[in-house]
Amino acid sequence: MPIGYSDSDFAGDKIISKLIFGYLFIIANGLISWKSKRGSIIALSTLEVEIDAFKEAICEAEWLIGFYSEI
């Protein structure tokens, strides 16, 4: 099973004030999937940013688990 990490940044960019998030998944010490993206909304709290980042990571984890179960 993959090991996953996710992180986000709330208003790190003071000009645009949009969230930035990323995640990565590792299997057998090898990076298999990653994403870094600026969000499409202006976040109002750090909790909102963390939830959005976690939601994206969970969607990718579900896809990876389904993919590896098919193999």
> What are the tokens at 11?
């208003």
Quote the pTM value. Answer: 0.77
The reported pLDDT for the residue numbered 37 is 86
- DSSP per position, 11-48: S-STTT---EEEEEEEETTEEEEEEEEE-SS--SSHHH
pLDDT band at 62 (very low <50, low <70, confident <90, very high): very high
Average pLDDT over residues 54-60: 92
2-44 pLDDT, tens per residue?
799 998 887 666 676 677 889 999 999 999 999 998 877 777 7
Run of H or E including 33: strand 30-38
Q: Are 25 and 32 in contact (CB under 8 A)?
A: yes
Structural domain spans, the chain: 3-70
